[in-house]
Amino acid sequence: MTTLPLAPANICMDPPVADAGDVLRMLAGILAGSTGLSAETIAEALQNREAQGSTGIGHGVALPHARLEGVQQTAIAALRTAQGIPFSAPDGVIVHLFIAVVVPKAAATAHLETLSALAARLAVDDVREGLLKARDSAEFFRLLTHPA
């Protein structure tokens, strides 16, 4: 599996979020600390990508992502929400697990490889169920980044 540039500090567990905009802004705030870009710039890029089509992939999972000028390396942030958020996923299921990815503008291959690795990992029922039950960000991190 592709090594994921994710740290437990970039995982937010069950914050009070009301809608998709809240989720994207919170993820952008986390990613701002990893990229040096402003949260506003990242949030706008994630929202622009969503306007092209939902990044909900089904089974309660979404992978918001963007390629951005000024990003030096791939950065990932995760957010789990207890109540679930409507996110126009293809299966119509509300989303509880959001994994956001930002990559350098020129890194098209790395972008696709990271999204593919995340999608493959999140396609496993036991992984998704474990992430929903994780007690803290350290457990969430371990489940997402270390194959069983």
Q: Tell me how far apart the alpha carbons of residues 4 and 115 are, in angstroms, rounded to a whole number.
A: 10
Measured CA to CA in angstroms, residue 88 lies from 52, 65, 85, 92, 99 at distances of: 12, 15, 9, 6, 16
Give the other-Cβ count within 10 Å of 120's Cβ. 13
* E-only strand ranges, the chain: 11-13, 56-58, 61-62, 65-68, 75-85, 95-104
For 24, the token pair is: 């994207």
Contact 127, 121 (CB under 8 A): yes
Contact 45, 110 (CB under 8 A): no
Does residue 65 carry a catalytic annotation?
Answer: yes
Among residues 65, 96, 111, 146, the one annotated as catalytic is 65
Catalytic residues: 65
